[in-house]
Every structure is written in C-alpha cells, then in structure tokens.
C-alpha cells in the first residue's frame, strides 16, 4: 500500500485476490471550482507555509489559467498571507468553514497590488464552502457513508467521509475479483475490512445493505477504534439521501472504470485476432499448464478467459493419472508432453459429452512439443479443427501449427500481454494445486504408517486437530476420545519413536 500522503492507494478486496484487487482513489475539491483553486487563483503565485520562514522553498504551482487555457509561467509573484494559507489548509484537510478568509480583507486594503488575486482565491474557496453547506446537516455529525454498484464486470464502492456534518473526503474503491458481481453483503464486508485496516472508524458507518457478519464486523471496528462503532442501514431522511448520492457516484465510477477497461480488452483481443490471422475475435480462451517437481505429484490446471476477463468459476484442476510405470521413468520433458496430452483429452472429452462450450483459442504453456501433444489429443477426439497456440516462458515466443517459425511480438504488445496474463494465471493455479497435493500426500503418508490408523481414522484426526502437528500435540485423552484408547496409544508410540 502506498503512503496515505500520495492520496492514491491499492488495496486487495480479499486475501485470495491479490492479482486483481481493490484500488482506491481519493477525491479533492469538486469540479471547476477545485480546478480554479489549484490552477487559477493559487497557481498565480508561490504560497509559503507560515512555519517555514522567508527563506524556505515555496510550494510551486507552474500553471496559471487565463480565460479557458492554462499557460506555463517561469516567474510567479510571491504572496505570504498566512491567514489565507491557514484557511485554505483547514478547508482542504478538514472541511472547516472559511469565515477566516474574511480576516484577510484587512490585507486587501494594505496590499492593493495583490487585492485582485486574493479576492479570486477567497471567492473560489467560498464557493466550495457553500457547496459543502448545502450537503451539511447537524444530524450527520461524524460518520462514513458507503455507496455500492455491484455488476458482472466488478464492483465499485464509494465512501463519503463526513466530519462535523460536512463531507470532507470522497474515496472510490473498485475490484474485479470473483467476489464482485455476487452478494452485496459479501462485497461490503470485504470493502469495510480493507478500508478500515489502516483507518479509525467513526461512531457510525452507513451502508446501503447489511454486510455479512455485521455483528462481528462491528466488534472488530470497535476494537480498532477503542469505542463502540455501529453499522447502520438508513431508511429515510438526509441520511438515506446521502446513501443514494453515494450509490449514484458509485454507478458513475463503475461506468467510467469498466467501460474503459472493456475498450482496452477489446483492443487486445482484436490485436490477437490480427496476429493469429483469425476470422473472428478469440472471445473465449482456455489455457493449460502442467506442474511437477522431480517427477512427483504431477498436476494440471485449466483456466478460462472470456471477453478479456478471467472466469475463476470455470477453472479446473487435474491430477495426472497416466504417468505410472514406464511413463514415470521417462525424462521430465517427456512426462510433460504425456501429461499435456492426457489433460487436453480429458478436458475436451468432457466438453463433447456436455455439448460445449468450445473455446475460440486453446493456449498451451510450452513450445512445439507441448503444442503437438495437445493437437494429438484433439485429433483423437475428432476436434483437430480447434485452434491451439503455445507460448514458451523463457523466450515468450508464440508457436502455431501453421507456421514453422515462432511469432515474436514486442514486449508491450497488447496481444502478448493478454496471453501472458492468462498463462501466468494458469501457472499460479497449477502450482497452488501441486503444493496442496504434496502437502496432503506427506501428511497422509505419516499417518498411514501407524498401525490401526486407516483412511477413516486419519480423516477423523485431521478434521479434529487440523494438521499433523496438531495430532502430534494432542494428549492421550484427546486422541482416545476420537479414535479409542488402543489407537491413541499407537499414535503416541509412533511419534515417540521419531523423537
């Protein structure tokens, strides 16, 4: 996460979603008035913070606004009005009323040459203050207000931070994770947890719908803040009105973010169509990856990318069955070829039985050898008309059946970046499954060596104690209550013999 001073942060929506996660964007002064404040009145001079002295380096605003255009200035006159500086800072950081600007009127009568500049700055700040006054009510007090737009492309959460009845901050959060597009309560729960991970919650948090595990969430927020925190779903009045306003802002953010992303994804698919000389866009891509370490526990993964977006709900994982006997004694490369043949055959035999859907493009993690194995499996099933392409990790070259030489694309080519993203996701999924398989094998093999502990008792022990280490730490009484005294003694004797 970036430092809060940057005003832009990257936050994962959930622990399982670090690859696509939740980004936040904090907003400042709204619209034209904010731009005038930053690029019009104030940029026409250098503002020196009052605590830094005359010799301190001023804050530079290199652009001024004249009419409807901005122009760079090399020399900017200096202004040292501490009263105006404090008022601007208080407004920007805390939303405090800018009545203090009236005290600067005395400066106007003393410094006529700067009167117009100060007047413009004060009017701009007063305009922003008037806008906040319209949104502010005494009832709002200190609270955060969440708005939500949850759709098939992802989710956008909009947060208004209200202090002293005024909206002082607007933060936009977005996610493309598998959680998005699902239950609103789950999305809100994840967003609240991440939003307050490094923030202290106000006494009340207003949301458009009840988050999952609301009671536990309130307890966690209260522990973080050192006082009671309530999560409320307003039904009427100004509080409900602010929820609706946050929802509208979230909908606008959703349209802006995901329409732009959809355009970029379409461009990548179109570029891929051109590179591979396809008649139509490869809207559905299925990618295969093999994972094995020293020839043991060979597994495979298949991931799906549709319209440029990953579809985790359609991912599949496979334990390779055929690498036994003579096949298991072959070189790892040959094992990789055989594993690719097996997983492609199993996948599309199932697709044939179910009547689809068939992919527009099959992506193979590997070079010519793996690609040939995949095509051999497709040919066995009568699906040789399906298009497959291989991508080699080291050189990042594309291999096709039609061309003798591989295709080399520029490193920033949209088509290559899309294929790399799909390939890397398949690799991640395969490696995760491989590690899980090895852990289960190692765990099971130790317990299987104990006399009297069969599959049923092994399952009971792992369910009750969670891991092999948990079984090792268990007392005789705890073990006996689950599997009986005789089997408990056998377990204790086995672990004692290993120490």
Q: What pLDDT does 54 receive? A: 40
How much is the average pLDDT of 407-414?
A: 94
Output the six-digit token pair for 421.
């993203």
Most confident of 11-15, 41-45, 276-280: 276-280
| Statement: residue 4 has pLDDT above 80 | no
Q: Report residue 56: phi and psi, to 5°.
A: -70, 150
| Statement: residue 355 has pLDDT above 50 | yes
Q: What pLDDT does 58 receive? A: 42
Higher pLDDT, 117 or 57: 117
The residue with tokens 């700067």 is 114
Q: What pLDDT does 232 receive? A: 94
Res. 17 pLDDT band, cuts 50 70 90: very low
Q: What pLDDT does 401 receive? A: 93
Other C-beta atoms within 10 Å of 28: how many? 12
Q: What is the tens place of the pLDDT at every residue in 446-490? A: 777 788 888 788 878 877 887 777 888 889 999 999 899 998 898
| Statement: residue 26 has pLDDT above 60 | no
| Statement: residue 445 has pLDDT above 50 | yes
How much is the average pLDDT of 247-260?
A: 87
Q: What pLDDT does 315 receive? A: 94
Q: What is the distance between the alpha carbons of residues 231 and 145, in angstroms, rounded to a whole number?
A: 10
How much is the average pLDDT of 94-109?
A: 53
Q: What is the distance between the alpha carbons of residues 243 and 232, in angstroms, rounded to a whole number?
A: 11
Higher pLDDT, 74 or 294: 294
Res. 47 pLDDT band, cuts 50 70 90: very low
pTM for this entry: 0.46
Higher pLDDT, 334 or 68: 334
Q: What is the tens place of the pLDDT at every residue in 201-217? A: 999 999 999 998 898 89
Q: What is the distance between the alpha carbons of residues 481 and 20, in angstroms, rounded to a whole number?
A: 45
Q: What is the tens place of the pLDDT at every residue in 185-196? A: 988 998 999 899
Query: DSSP class of residue 452?
Result: T
For the chain, domains (ranges, CATH) are 31-134 (no CATH), 138-255 (3.30.420.10), 284-437 (3.30.420.340), 449-498 (1.10.150.20)
CA distances from 343 to 97, 377, 420 (A): 67, 9, 21
Q: What is the distance between the alpha carbons of residues 172 and 232, in angstroms, rounded to a whole number?
A: 20
Higher pLDDT, 14 or 240: 240
Res. 332 pLDDT band, cuts 50 70 90: very low
| Statement: residue 148 has pLDDT above 70 | yes
Average pLDDT, the chain: 76
Most confident of 6-15, 136-145, 167-176, 239-248: 239-248
Q: Which of 282, 287, 286 is nearest to 268 (CA)?
A: 282
Looking at 90-210, which runs of residues are DSSP E strands?
143-151, 154-163, 166-175, 204-206
Q: What pLDDT does 110 receive? A: 57
Exposure letters 192-210 (e unless 16+ CB within 10 A, then b): bbbbbeebebbebbbbbee
| Statement: residue 139 has pLDDT above 90 | no
How much is the average pLDDT of 91-107?
A: 53
Other C-beta atoms within 10 Å of 490: how many? 17
| Statement: residue 249 has pLDDT above 60 | yes
Q: What pLDDT does 399 receive? A: 96
Q: What pLDDT does 435 receive? A: 75
Q: What is the distance between the alpha carbons of residues 469 and 459, in angstroms, rounded to a whole number?
A: 14
The residue with tokens 């294929």 is 419
Strands 8-11 and 204-206: unpaired
| Statement: residue 370 has pLDDT above 90 | yes
How much is the average pLDDT of 354-378?
A: 95
């Amino acid at each position: 996460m970036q430092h809060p001073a940057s005003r832009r942060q990257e936050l994962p929506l959930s622990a399982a979603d670090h690859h696509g996660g939740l980004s936040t964007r904090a907003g400042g002064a709204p619209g034209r008035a904010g731009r005038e404040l930053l690029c019009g009145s104030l940029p026409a001079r250098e503002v020196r913070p009052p605590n830094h002295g005359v010799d301190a380096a001023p804050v530079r605003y290199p652009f001024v606004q004249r009419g409807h255009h901005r122009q760079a200035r090399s020399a900017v006159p200096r202004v040292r009005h501490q009263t105006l500086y404090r008022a601007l800072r208080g407004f920007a950081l805390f939303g405090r009323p800018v009545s203090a600007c009236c005290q600067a009127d005395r400066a106007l009568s003393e410094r006529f040459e700067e009167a117009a500049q100060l007047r413009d700055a004060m009017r701009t700040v007063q305009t922003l203050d008037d806008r906040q006054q319209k949104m502010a009510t005494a009832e709002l007090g200190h609270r955060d207000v969440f708005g939500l737009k949850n759709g098939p492309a992802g989710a956008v959460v909009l947060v208004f931070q209200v202090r002293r009845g005024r909206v002082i901050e607007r933060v936009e959060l977005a996610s493309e994770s598998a959680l998005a597009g699902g239950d609103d309560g789950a999305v809100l729960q994840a967003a609240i947890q991440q939003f307050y991970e490094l923030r202290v919650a106000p006494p009340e948090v207003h949301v458009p719908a009840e988050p999952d595990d609301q009671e536990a969430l309130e307890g966690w927020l209260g522990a973080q803040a050192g006082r009671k925190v309530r999560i409320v779903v307003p039904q009427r009045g100004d509080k409900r009105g602010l929820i609706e306003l946050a929802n509208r802002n979230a909908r606008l953010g959703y349209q802006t973010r995901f329409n732009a992303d959809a355009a970029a994804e379409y461009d990548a698919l179109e570029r891929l169509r051109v590179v591979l000389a396809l008649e139509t866009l490869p809207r559905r891509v299925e990618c295969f990856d093999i994972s094995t370490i020293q020839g043991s526990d060979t597994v495979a993964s298949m991931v799906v990318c549709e319209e440029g977006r990953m579809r985790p709900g359609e991912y599949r994982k496979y334990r390779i069955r055929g690498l036994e006997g003579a096949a298991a004694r072959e070189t790892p490369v040959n094992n990789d070829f055989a594993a690719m043949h097996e997983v492609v055959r199993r996948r599309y035999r199932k697709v044939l039985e179910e009547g689809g859907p068939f992919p527009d493009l099959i992506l193979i993690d590997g070079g010519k050898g793996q690609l040939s194995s995949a095509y051999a499996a497709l040919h066995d099933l009568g699906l040789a008309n399906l298009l497959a392409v291989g991508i080699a990790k080291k050189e990042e070259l594309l291999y096709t059946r039609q061309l003798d030489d591989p295709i080399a694309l520029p490193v920033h080519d949209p088509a290559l970046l899309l294929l790399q993203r799909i390939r890397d996701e398949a690799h991640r999924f395969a490696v995760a499954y491989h590690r899980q398989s090895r852990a289960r094998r190692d765990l099971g093999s130790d317990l299987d060596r104990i006399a009297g502990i069969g599959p049923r008792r092994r399952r009971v022990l792992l369910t009750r104690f969670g891991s092999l280490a948990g079984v090792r730490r268990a007392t005789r009484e705890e073990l006996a209550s689950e599997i009986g005294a005789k089997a408990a003694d056998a377990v204790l004797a086995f672990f004692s013999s290993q120490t």
